[in-house]
């Protein structure tokens, strides 16, 4: 489950904003200061605390009775595509980005509250789960994170015990129930972790990647796997309860409602299964793969498909109620609120559809594919796009014509005034600035007053004017008490690779942004970062700080961190293998590269075969992907103990299927007639590379081999049969075929 950013929106509103004139007549000030009422923004609740709203993955939200109208209230821009599905708790939207960050964004204003940066190349594509003040996410490379929901500080992370490859990707969105975090991984496992500490409680291994996000209902975990199965597991122990096999990968996340599990498969079907037994109830076939996760409400299942459609199906029977066709595949998982279905499409749009009829209510176009799934609350739809933006879509809070005004007061003369960070209004004159606003445009949520030499003041604006109304805003700027000077320390400056170093900012003068360079091409923008060095060397570290008073400073510490090579092991298993791929049967050779002169070496070839010795060969007879493990031992005469070491090459060998050539028996004979005794030559013309051939000459005599010569000694008419055989390494069975030529040989009397 990146594109160039574009900024969608209402072109008329954008035009009005760019052409505004600021009135300055005193009579306006007198009139407008006599007017004024406060219009407060809605208080947001907590409707969807994880991917697809709840632990049942139903996708059902409460819009507070206020149906969104698809009007862009704000957009929050990240540096990477947003495939993550947002979660909303206590007026904060939590969402991941492919720029390696988890963001907390104010739901009313779209302003960043904090961000947590994961390791480089660690995309955050999972939907966050927010429980008891903690945000849980998965990362692209091996880790599951728990972050403080208020501050973004890391509480713990758990590293999946697998090599740092794409096979240990976490693309499954976590579910949290009864103090346990449940999440799937590309290493084929479902993990259960203690939510407070990150300690592993159990894991269950499936037969392939786990993209699917778990549902946790009544002490049972339901999850799909790319081994084509849907699993039911005991939530406490991880014990297997049942599984159901579909015709292809199960990337879709199950939804559980009224004792039924609903889930999609890449075999183009949506399935309904008995939640207690896994018994098949019904399936509905679409025209494309189903990665979308179903939403279930009021006896109807809503789900998207790669055939460009969103479907509404009867939850009891699977009968089609309606379908709506978009311009491309639908990977997004639908959300339901107040009789409206909200869903994204790869045609760059977010759609609002009538839940009963499928009729289009509205659609909003972003700059790239929308695979993120929506969250809905109090008249606002929150959804991410691969154009790098998180969008808030709702209803224009102000309607009607006319003009409203902001009167901005400041203690600093000549300060610049901005609204929503990008709307330049002018400079403070005589302590005030009167700002005219377009009532039909995007509301003004924040204002900023800036002047070099003073800390900028940015405040959330909870008021916006109606026709002929003035709102008073106050900004008191503060001058820095000391110059901005960058400085830092670290918890260590040397060690062996891999070396983790924690850096602490000691800058004075009120720094507000931090740009760290660790000397190895990696950067960080958090105040007190932790960085891992993976290559030996000597590294210079620099910190550049700035603040909104227009000050900046840089501290460079040359040759600050020394990373030494790891000591060479005295006893360690290692080997090479060649070839690593080919058709069955495939013979490979392992060559021992171990350190420490082991006396016992045992290779496990991953197909049930173990071989001892340093450099064995082994033949794989069946297609598949195989892992090879070398275990070595040696008696230590100093410590009087057995030394041991193991080396594993995960998925080292790929044995391909042999192309299937039909096995067809065919032969020719010459001559086919004559007087007894008649000597006849038989020539094999079979296809499919048979390995065993048997001729039955029809006179009680048989012969093996591809070609044969036989003498008929008595007159008569003879049937000849050629039977051929071949062992099929793909299926592990013996294949056969026969050719019978009746009356082929005619032998006359003398």
Q: What is the CATH number of the domain that holds 629?
A: 2.60.40.10
Listed residues 656, 679, 701: the one ending a domain: 656
**pLDDT bucket at 396, cuts 50 / 70 / 90:** low
Based on the domain organization, do 408 and 543 belong to the same domain? no
Kindly state the tokens that stand for 44: 């947001």
Q: Is the pLDDT of residue 164 over 80?
A: no
- On whether both 388 and 405 belong to a single domain, the answer is no
User: What average pLDDT score do residues 255-259 get?
Assistant: 96
Asked if residue 257 belongs to a domain, the reply is yes
Exposure b/e, 254-280, CB count within 10 A at least 16 = b? bbbbeebbbbbbbbbbbbbbebeebee
Last residue of a domain, one of 367, 394, 421: 394
pLDDT of 11 = 29
Find the mean pLDDT for residues 585-593.
Answer: 95
Q: Is residue 57 part of a domain?
A: no
Q: Which two tokens stand for residue 123?
A: 């995309």
Confidence of residue 42 (pLDDT cuts 50, 70, 90): very low
pTM value?
A: 0.54
Mean pLDDT of 590-597: 95
Read off the pLDDT of each residue in 177-196 and give the average, rounded to a whole number. Answer: 93
Q: In what order do the strands lie in the sheet with 129-131?
A: 129-131, 134-138, 143-148, 154-159
Rounded-to-integer distance, Cα 258 and Cα 263, Å:
14
Report whether pLDDT(425) > 60.
yes
pLDDT mean over 522-529: 93
- pLDDT (0 to 100) of residue 733: 82
Between CA 514 and CA 542 the distance in angstroms is 10
User: Does position 15 have pLDDT exceeding 80, yes or no?
Assistant: no
- Mean pLDDT (the chain) is 87
In a domain, 37, yes or no: no
Number of folded domains that form the chain? 5
SS3 206: coil
Q: In this predicted structure, what is the pLDDT of residue 9?
A: 30
pLDDT reported for residue 119: 76
Q: Considering only residues 547 and 123, tell me which one the structure prediction assigns the higher pLDDT.
A: 547
How far apart are alpha carbons 541 and 558 in whole angstroms?
7
Three-state DSSP state, 396: coil
**What DSSP letter does each residue of 104-136 carry, written as one string?**
EEETTT--EEEEEE-STT----SPPEEETTEEE
pLDDT in tens, 287-327: 999 999 999 999 999 999 999 999 999 999 999 999 999 99
Phi, psi of 379, rounded to the nearest 5 degrees: 85, 15
Helix (H) or strand (E) holding 249: none
The per-residue DSSP string of 603-670 comes to EE-SSS-EEESSS-EEEE-S-EEEEEEEEEEEEETTTTEEEEEEEEEEEEEEEEPPP----B--EEEE
pLDDT of residue 12: 28
Half-sphere exposure of 429 (CA within 13 A, CB side): 11
Lowest model confidence (mean pLDDT) among 168-172, 223-227, 239-243, 507-511:
168-172
State how far the alpha carbon of 389 is from the alpha carbons of 190, 369, 372, 382, 608, in Å.
31, 11, 11, 11, 50
* Same domain, residue pair 216 and 328: yes
How far, in Å, CA of 274 to CA of 281, rounded?
Answer: 7
**SS3 state of residue 74:** strand
Rg (CA), the chain: 35
Is 461 in the same domain as 584?
Answer: no
Residues 596 and 530 in one domain: no
Q: What is the domain range of residue 174?
A: 71-394
Select from 656, 690, 715 the last residue of a domain: 656
Residue 159 has phi, psi (to 5 degrees) of -95, 120
Residue 602 lies in a domain: yes
| Residue-wise pLDDT tens digits, 118-134 | 876 678 888 999 999 99
Secondary structure of residue 11 in the 3-state scheme: helix
371, 496: one domain: no
For the record, the structure tokens of 596 come out as 């420490």
Indicate whether 735 and 627 sit together in one domain.
no
Return the structure tokens found at 256: 């559980």
Does residue 28 sit within a domain? no
Residue 90 lies in a domain: yes
Task: Give pLDDT, residue 661.
Answer: 79
Least confident of 33-47, 231-245, 510-524: 33-47
Q: Is the peptide bond before 578 cis (omega within 30 degrees of 0)?
A: no
Q: Is 126 in the same domain as 211?
A: yes
Indicate the pairing of strand 494-496 with strand 552-564: parallel
> Does residue 260 carry a pLDDT above 50?
yes
* Pair (674, 530) in one structural domain: no
Residue 196 CA to residue 219 CA, distance in Å, equals: 19
**What pLDDT does 402 receive?**
67
32: left (phi over 0), alpha (psi -120 to 50) or beta: alpha
Say whether both 125 and 218 belong to one domain. yes
Q: Confidence band (pLDDT; 50, 70, 90) for 46?
A: very low
Tens-digit pLDDT profile for residues 661-717: 789 999 999 999 999 999 999 999 999 889 999 999 999 999 999 999 999 999 999
Report the pLDDT value the prediction gives residue 141, as an integer from 0 to 100: 64
Mean of pLDDT values over 217-232: 95
Residue 153 to residues 59, 117, 419, 708, Cα–Cα distance (Å): 29, 10, 29, 82
Residues 205, 188: Cα–Cα separation, whole Å: 6
Q: How many CA atoms lie within 13 A of 201 on its CB side?
A: 21
At 568, is the pLDDT very low, low, confident or very high (cuts 50, 70, 90)? Answer: confident
CA distance 365 to 258: 35
The whole-angstrom separation of Cα 334 and Cα 695 is 65
DSSP assignment of 317-338:
T--EEEEEE-SS---SPPEEET
* One domain for residues 326 and 447: no
CB 257 within 8 A of CB 58: yes
Q: What are phi and psi of 28, to 5 degrees?
A: -65, -45
Same domain for 285 and 197: yes
pLDDT at 400: 52
Mean pLDDT along residues 251-270: 96
Q: What is the pLDDT of residues 81-94, one digit of tens each?
A: 999 999 999 999 99
Least confident segment among 155-159, 170-174, 242-246, 606-610: 170-174
Residue 268: inside a domain, yes or no? yes
Higher per-residue pLDDT: 266 or 19: 266
The 10s digit of each residue's pLDDT in 325-373 is 999 999 999 999 999 999 999 999 999 999 999 999 999 999 999 999 9
Task: Please give the Cα distance from 269 to 284 (Å, whole number).
Answer: 5
Q: How far apart are CA 161 and CA 172, in angstroms?
A: 16
* Residue 312 domain flag: yes
Pairing of strands 581-583, 610-612: unpaired
216: which 2 tokens?
């946790």
pLDDT of residue 120: 64
Pairwise CA distance, residues 345 & 308, whole Å? 8
Q: Average pLDDT for residues 472-496, to the nearest whole number?
A: 94
Average pLDDT over residues 602-622: 94
pLDDT top residue among 640 and 79: 79
Higher pLDDT, 32 or 163: 163
CA–CA separation, 96 and 85 (whole Å): 8
Higher pLDDT pick, 240 / 730: 240
- Residue holding tokens 């299926």? 731
Confidence label for 16 from pLDDT (cuts 50, 70 and 90): very low
Instruction: Give the whole-angstrom CA distance, residue 613 versus residue 602.
Output: 6
pLDDT for 167 equals: 45
Cross-strand partners of 725:
692, 736
Helix (H, G, I), strand (E, B) or coil at 588: strand
Instruction: Give the span between the Cα atoms of 258 and 236, in whole angstroms.
Output: 22
- Report residue 398's pLDDT band, with 50, 70 and 90 as the boundaries: low
């Amino acid at each position: 489950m990146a594109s160039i950013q574009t900024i969608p929106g209402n072109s008329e509103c954008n035009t009005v904003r760019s052409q505004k004139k600021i009135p300055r007549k005193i009579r306006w000030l007198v009139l407008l200061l006599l007017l004024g009422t406060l219009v407060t923004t809605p208080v947001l609740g907590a409707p969807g605390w994880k991917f697809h709203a709840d632990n049942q993955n139903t996708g059902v939200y409460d819009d507070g009775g206020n149906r969104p109208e698809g009007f862009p209230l704000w957009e929050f821009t990240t540096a990477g595509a947003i495939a993550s599905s947002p979660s909303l708790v206590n007026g904060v939207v939590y969402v991941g980005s492919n720029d390696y960050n988890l963001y907390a964004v104010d739901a009313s204003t779209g302003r960043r509250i904090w961000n947590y940066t994961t390791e480089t190349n660690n995309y955050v594509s999972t939907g966050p789960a927010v429980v008891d003040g903690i945000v849980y996410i998965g990362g692209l490379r091996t880790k599951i994170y728990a972050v403080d929901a208020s501050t973004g500080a890391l509480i713990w992370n758990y590293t999946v015990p697998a090599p740092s490859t794409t096979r240990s990707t976490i693309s499954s969105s976590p579910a949290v129930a009864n103090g346990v975090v449940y999440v799937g991984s590309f290493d084929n496992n479902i993990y259960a972790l203690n939510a407070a500490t990150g300690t592993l409680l159990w894991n269950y291994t499936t037969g392939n990647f786990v993209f699917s996000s778990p549902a946790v209902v009544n002490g049972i975990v339901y999850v799909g796997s790319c081994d084509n199965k849907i699993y039911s597991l005991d939530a406490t122990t991880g014990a297997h309860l049942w599984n159901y096999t579909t015709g292809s990968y199960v990337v879709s996340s199950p939804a559980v409602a009224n004792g039924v599990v609903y889930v999609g498969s890449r075999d183009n079907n949506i399935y309904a299964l008995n939640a207690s037994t896994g018994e098949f109830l019904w399936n509905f076939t679409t025209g494309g793969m189903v990665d979308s996760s179903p939403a279930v409400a009021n006896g109807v299942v809503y789900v998207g498909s790669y055939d460009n459609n969103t479907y509404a199906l009867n939850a009891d029977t699977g009968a089609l109620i309606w379908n709506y066709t978009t311009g491309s595949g639908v990977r997004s998982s639908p959300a339901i609120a107040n009789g409206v279905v909200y869903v994204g499409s790869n045609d760059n749009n977010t759609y609002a559809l009538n839940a009963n009829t499928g009729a289009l209510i509205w659609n909003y176009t972003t700059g790239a594919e929308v695979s993120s799934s929506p969250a809905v609350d109090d008249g606002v739809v929150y959804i991410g796009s691969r154009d790098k933006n998180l969008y808030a879509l709702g209803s224009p809070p102000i309607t009607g014509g006319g003009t409203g005004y902001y009167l901005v007061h400041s203690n600093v003369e000549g300060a610049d005034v901005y609204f929503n960070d990008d709307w330049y209004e002018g400079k403070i004159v005589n302590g005030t600035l009167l700002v005219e606003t377009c009532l039909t445009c995007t509301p003004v949520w924040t204002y900023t007053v800036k002047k070099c030499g003073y800390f900028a003041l940015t405040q959330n604006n909870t008021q916006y004017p109606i026709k002929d109304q003035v709102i008073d805003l106050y900004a008191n700027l503060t001058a820095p008490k000391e110059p901005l000077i960058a400085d830092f320390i670290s918890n260590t400056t040397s060690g062996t690779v891999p070396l983790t170093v924690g850096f602490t900012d000691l800058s004075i003068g009120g720094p507000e942004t931090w740009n760290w360079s660790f000397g190895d091409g990696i950067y960080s923008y958090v105040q007190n970062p932790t960085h891992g060095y993976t290559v030996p060397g000597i590294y210079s570290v620099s910190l550049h700080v700035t603040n909104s008073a227009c000050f900046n400073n840089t501290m460079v510490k040359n040759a600050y961190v020394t990373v030494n090579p790891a000591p060479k092991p005295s006893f360690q298993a290692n080997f090479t293998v060649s070839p690593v791929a080919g058709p069955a049967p495939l013979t490979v050779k392992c060559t021992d590269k171990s350190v420490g002169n082991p006396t016992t070496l045992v290779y496990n070839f991953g197909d049930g075969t173990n071989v001892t010795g340093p450099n064995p060969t082994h033949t794989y007879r069946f297609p598949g992907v195989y892992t090879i493990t070398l275990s070595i031992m040696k008696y230590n005469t100093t410590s009087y103990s057995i030394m041991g070491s193991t080396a594993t090459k995960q998925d080292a060998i790929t044995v391909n299927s042999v192309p299937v050539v039909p096995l067809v028996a065919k032969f020719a004979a010459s001559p086919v007639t004559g007087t007894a005794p008649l000597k006849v030559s038989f020539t094999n013309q079979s296809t499919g590379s048979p390995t065993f051939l048997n001729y039955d000459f029809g006179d009680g005599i048989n012969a093996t081999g591809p070609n044969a010569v036989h003498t008929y000694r008595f007159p008569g008419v003879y049937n000849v049969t050629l039977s051929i055989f071949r062992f099929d390494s793909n299926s592990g069975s013996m294949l056969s075929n026969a050719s019978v030529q009746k009356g082929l040989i005619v032998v006359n009397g003398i």
